[in-house]
Each structure stands twice: as structure tokens, then as C-alpha cells.
């Protein structure tokens, strides 16, 4: 292609140049061709990009199409039901509830509900009365001196750095208005989290906000911040679903001078949190650390978050609670399908237990060891609708956290550019120009309404199932499509000859 490019390019240049001199035609065309020839020559000589080396100018179209591929996929190819990680229908639901507008849909479901993976709620023909009061859960075990009354739905961990300051402020102000908590993420407790909303301060392996110069845990700094009135709970992050066993990632492009100062690190460098904690390295140390943080915070609820991998490790942690007679006030269960601003693909796609089996397993272990009543379980895995809240509670959660649902309420369009600092909506970027597009006063209202309307939808589903309390929810209120195959095979074998037999 290079030979043809230069052959035709030089010929075209000479021809247009001749036309310019003899027929007084504009010089713009030969000038443009000359510029393309120079670009082509430079690309032919460089050795980094094979496409541009072989296709000196046309090769740029490959990068252009690659750059807009997510938009082409989302707006022209995807159906409304099959987008990933969230479908267009799910995103639209979040947008409508955040804007406090009609969230109904016309003409019936677009899902194929005659499949074995269909899930639905067993409604009652005698529905209960819908409760318009939003549910709350008290968090605080036997050793907690400052129990906290939490909402059933709260903002999951998202750090300042991963998200912009405008996004953090809007989330916190929305949490203040709706009376629910805002998890700081492992990036530290900042001024942007202290806008009046309740805060769960997450302590990650980097100990940002409470670290020594060497990067270890600093008890004095922790004591000072943990006793702030806005800090209602403390969460120790062991791992998160999108990258368990890896540690957090803040790309260099998002590590500004401001963020580096807050975290106590060098600016404009990629920050990789250690995979593990230095304050402890086993189950015994973890439980002792829980007790230490509870003491330093004057008895505030302390818990930990993890994505389960080796199930025996979670059992050992629970047994250690019993041995030390020290129980965390809550445990947050994340799933391998969890979100992140940046993670290696191998970790996102191939490490960790999915949310559903992890939550069921953790709940059963706590029940088997007779300690379930001492610990609140928080579900954190693709919670976006009232249905997903009920589903998480049926599998063992007491309450739920959502990250991407609240990102949608801020205006996130699932552009899949969280790790590039080029988020077009100003949510996941440190670019000041892009950040200006996110107006705090407007988006904080959307955060408030998304929370309120989603919980109201959960209340409506609860009533439709004939239940008056979330304590009545278990797996029996849900049905699966594979049950229909069994029923058809059992009761209608003559009429449904194509039903698979098990």
C-alpha cells in the first residue's frame, strides 16, 4: 500500500501543481496533497505502528473507528436489552428515576421469559398495602457504642480521584437530602465528602488519609478523622469484586497535585494500592484490627468488605470472630461482576466469586455458626433497581450499596472511559473542563430522587408479593424459568413433547 500511496500521491501532486501554474487553479489542493505526502512519509519511516507503516494515511481511520467503537456499539448496534455491563433499559430506568419522571414502559416486556434463566417474583393475588416510608436498618453489634440507622440503599465505594470533585460533592449532598450514607472509597476522606451527608469511611490497603510516610496505618490520623460527626461507619476494604487480590488503581492522568496531596503520594504517577494490608496478614489480625478501629473511633460501627475467593478463608475469619468474641458490625459482600474505574481485564473477567453465590454462601456460614444476628450483611453487586434490592435481600443481605446506579443518576452514559480521564459527562475525570459539565445543584437532586424512587419501587414489589416487611423476604418469593420445564414435564407430558426431561 505504501508504494501505491506514494505513486498516486506524487502523481496527483504534480498534476494539481501543473494545473495551478498553467490554468491558475487554486493552490489549496496541491498543498493538501503535499501535507498528506509528508505525513505518509513520516508514518512509513516510524516503526511503532504497523498499520500506519503499511497504510500511511488510511491507517488513521482504524484509530478513529476504534475510538468511537463504544458509541457505535451502544447507539447503533445494541438492542435495548443486551448492553453490558448494564442494558439500555436498565440505564434508562436509572435516568428516569433520577429525573423524577415517569419510569413506565409501553407494550409489554422485551425479554424472552420462556427461557430457563428467566427470574420473576411470585406475586400474591392479595397484595399488601404499599408502605410509603422508606425502610431503614440499624447497624451496630454488641460492642458498638454508636449504632447507626442506615437506609436500605446507599452509595457504594467510589473514591475522589476515580470520580471528580463535582461528582463527589453531588453524591454527598444527595445523600444528605435523602438521609442515606455515602461510602468514600479507598481514596480517603476529603473535604468533598464532608458536605453534610452521612459518610462511611473506607480504609483500603493504601491507608489514604490515615497513613504514615512509609505507607502504613497511622492510628493518630485515623482517630482524628474517624471521630468527625459526619463519619457514621468505618469499612475495612479487603478486596473488591472487579479486581480482588490486586489493589486499587489510579491512572497517572487522574493523579493530580490535589489528589496526590490528599493521598500522600507523588503526583502524575499511576498509584497502585498494595494487594494486601500491612496492619494485619491473617484472620486473627483482621479481627484485632476491627477491635482497634472500633476503639479509636469511640465505638462507631466497623466492618469489612470483600469479594470471596477461597471459601475456607471466610470461614476462618468467622471462626476467629468467635474465638476473640469480637464481631464486626457489618460485612459487605461484593461480587466478581462489580464495577471499577480501572482494572486489568484478567482480574475483571477471571477472578473472584460472583455476587449471588458469594452472598448465599456468606449468609449460610454466619447462620451455621450462630452469629448471623450479630452482623449486618451488605450486598454490593450490580444493584440498580427495586427488583435487584429484593433479590439481594432474598439471598441474605440486610441492606444494599450501589455504585454504578448512582453514577447513572449523575449522568454517566456508560461511555467506558473511566480509566482515561476523558469521561464525557464529568463524572469519572479530573479534567476541569469536562468537570464543569456536571452541575452539582442539579445532579445532587437527581441522586436524591434516584434513591427515593428506587426504594419506593422496592416497596411496591414487596407489597405485590403480599409482604409487609423486608424481614419476610426469602428465596421462596422468586421463581425461575427452569421450574416451568419441570412442571410442564410433570403435569403436561402429552401436550408438551419438546420439554427437556431432567
- Answer whether 294's CB lies under 8 Å from 302's CB: yes
What is the phi/psi pair of residue 426, to 5°?
Answer: 80, 10
Q: What is the model's pLDDT at position 152?
A: 98
3 state SS of 303: strand
Tell me the β-bridge partners of 136: 151
Q: Write down the pLDDT at residue 502.
A: 40
Cis-peptide into 85, omega within 30 deg: yes
User: What DSSP assignment string belongs to 350-416?
Assistant: HSS--HHHHHHHHHHHHHHTT-GGG-EEEEESS--SHHHHHHHHHTT-SEEEESHHHHHHHT----S
Q: What angle do CA 477, 480, 486 make, to 5 degrees?
A: 115
The superfamily CATH assigns to domain 136-479 is Aldolase class I (3.20.20.70)
In contact, 204 and 172? CB cutoff 8 Å: no
Whole-number pLDDT of residue 281: 92
| Cα distance between residue 293 and residue 76, in whole Å | 51
**Burial track 240-267 (b if 16+ CB lie within 10 A, e otherwise):** bbbbbebbbbbbeebbbeebbebbbbee
> For the residues of 195-215, what is the DSSP string, one character each?
SSSEEEEEE-TT-TTSB-TTS
Q: What residue spans in the chain does CATH classification 3.20.20.70 cover?
A: 136-479
> How far is residue 393's CA from residue 155's CA, in Å, rounded to a whole number?
17
Tell me the C-alpha distance between 87 and 78, whole Å: 9
Alpha-carbon distances of 331 from 170, 246, 314, 328, 396, rounded to whole Å: 27, 20, 11, 7, 12
Sequential pLDDT tens for the chain (502 residues):
777 877 877 887 777 777 767 766 777 887 888 888 888 888 788 888 888 878 888 888 877 877 777 777 777 777 777 778 888 888 889 999 999 998 777 888 888 887 777 888 999 999 999 999 999 999 999 899 999 999 999 999 999 988 999 999 999 999 999 999 999 999 889 999 999 999 999 999 989 889 888 889 999 999 999 999 999 999 999 988 777 777 777 778 788 888 887 787 788 888 777 888 999 999 999 999 999 999 999 999 999 999 999 999 999 999 999 999 999 999 999 988 877 777 777 887 778 889 999 999 999 999 999 999 999 999 998 899 999 999 999 999 999 999 999 999 999 988 888 888 888 899 999 889 999 999 999 999 999 999 999 999 999 999 999 999 999 998 888 888 777 655 555 555 554 444 444 4
124 φ, ψ to 5°?
Answer: -100, 145
- Specify the pTM: 0.85
Nearest alpha-carbon partner for 183 in 140, 230, 229, 118: 230
Cα(332)–Cα(154) distance, integer angstroms: 12
Helix (H) or strand (E) holding 120: strand 119-121
Q: What pLDDT, on the 0 to 100 scale, is given for residue 267?
A: 83
Is-contact 40 68, C-beta < 8 A?
Answer: no
pLDDT score for 378: 97
Cβ-Cβ contacts under 8 Å for 384 (sequence gap 6 or more): 86, 90, 93, 94, 402, 404, 405, 408, 454
Do 94 and 409 meet the contact criterion of CB atoms below 8 Å apart? yes
Give the helix ranges, DSSP H, for 238-326.
Answer: 257-263, 283-296, 311-324
Q: Which helix (H) or strand (E) holds 148?
A: strand 148-151
Amino acid at each position: 500500500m505504501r508504494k501505491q500511496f506514494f505513486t498516486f500521491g506524487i502523481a496527483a501532486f504534480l498534476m494539481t501543481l501543473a494545473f495551478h501554474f498553467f490554468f491558475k487553479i487554486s493552490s489549496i489542493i496541491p498543498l493538501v496533497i503535499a501535507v498528506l505526502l509528508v505525513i505518509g512519509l513520516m508514518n512509513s519511516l516510524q516503526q511503532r505502528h504497523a498499520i500506519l507503516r503499511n497504510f500511511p494515511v488510511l491507517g488513521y481511520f482504524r484509530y478513529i473507528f476504534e475510538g468511537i467503537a463504544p458509541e457505535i456499539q451502544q447507539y447503533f448496534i445494541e438492542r435495548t436489552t443486551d448492553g453490558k455491563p448494564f442494558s439500555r433499559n436498565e440505564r434508562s430506568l436509572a435516568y428516569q428515576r433520577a429525573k423524577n419522571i415517569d419510569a413506565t414502559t409501553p407494550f409489554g416486556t422485551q425479554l424472552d421469559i420462556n427461557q430457563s434463566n428467566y427470574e420473576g417474583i411470585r406475586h400474591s393475588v392479595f397484595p399488601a398495602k404499599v408502605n410509603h416510608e422508606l425502610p431503614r436498618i440499624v447497624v451496630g453489634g454488641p460492642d458498638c457504642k454508636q449504632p447507626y440507622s442506615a437506609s436500605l440503599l446507599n452509595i457504594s465505594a467510589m473514591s475522589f480521584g476515580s470520580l471528580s470533585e463535582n461528582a463527589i460533592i453531588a453524591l454527598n449532598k444527595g445523600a444528605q437530602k435523602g438521609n442515606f450514607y455515602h461510602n468514600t472509597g479507598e481514596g480517603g476522606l476529603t473535604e468533598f465528602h464532608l458536605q453534610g451527608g452521612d459518610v462511611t469511611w473506607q480504609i483500603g490497603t493504601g491507608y489514604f488519609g490515615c497513613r504514615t510516610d512509609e505507607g502504613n496505618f497511622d492510628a493518630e490520623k485515623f482517630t482524628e478523622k474517624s471521630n468527625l460527626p459526619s463519619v457514621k461507619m468505618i469499612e475495612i476494604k479487603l478486596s473488591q469484586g472487579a479486581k480482588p487480590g490486586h489493589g486499587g488503581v489510579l491512572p497517572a492522568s487522574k493523579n493530580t497535585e490535589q489528589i496526590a496531596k490528599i493521598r500522600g503520594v507523588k503526583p502524575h504517577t499511576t498509584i497502585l494500592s498494595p494487594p494486601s494490608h500491612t496492619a494485619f496478614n491473617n484472620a486473627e489480625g483482621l479481627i484485632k484490627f476491627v477491635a482497634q478501629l472500633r476503639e479509636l473511633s469511640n465505638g462507631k460501627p466497623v466492618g469489612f468488605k470483600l469479594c470471596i475467593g477461597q471459601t475456607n478463608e471466610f470461614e476462618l475469619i468467622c471462626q476467629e470472630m468467635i474465638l476473640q468474641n469480637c464481631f464486626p458490625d457489618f460485612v459487605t459482600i461484593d461480587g466478581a461482576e462489580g464495577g471499577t474505574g480501572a482494572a486489568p481485564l484478567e482480574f475483571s473477567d477471571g477472578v473472584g466469586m460472583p455476587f449471588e453465590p458469594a452472598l448465599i454462601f456468606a449468609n449460610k456460614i454466619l447462620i451455621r455458626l450462630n452469629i448471623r444476628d450479630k452482623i449486618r450483611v451488605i450486598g454490593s453487586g450490580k444493584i440498580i433497581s427495586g427488583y435487584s434490592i429484593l433479590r439481594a435481600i432474598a439471598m441474605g443481605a440486610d441492606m444494599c450499596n450501589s455504585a454504578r446506579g448512582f453514577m447513572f443518576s449523575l449522568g454517566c452514559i456508560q461511555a467506558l472511559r473511566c480509566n482515561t480521564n476523558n469521561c464525557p459527562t464529568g463524572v469519572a475525570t479530573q479534567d476541569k473542563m469536562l468537570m464543569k459539565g456536571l452541575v452539582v445543584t442539579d445532579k445532587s437532586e437527581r441522586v436524591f430522587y434516584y434513591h427515593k424512587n428506587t426504594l419506593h419501587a422496592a416497596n411496591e414489589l414487596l407489597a405485590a408479593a403480599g409482604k409487609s416487611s423486608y424481614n419476610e423476604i426469602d428465596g421462596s418469593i422468586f421463581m425461575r424459568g427452569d421450574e416451568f420445564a419441570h412442571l410442564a414435564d410433570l403435569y403436561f407430558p402429552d401436550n408438551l413433547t419438546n420439554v427437556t426431561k431432567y
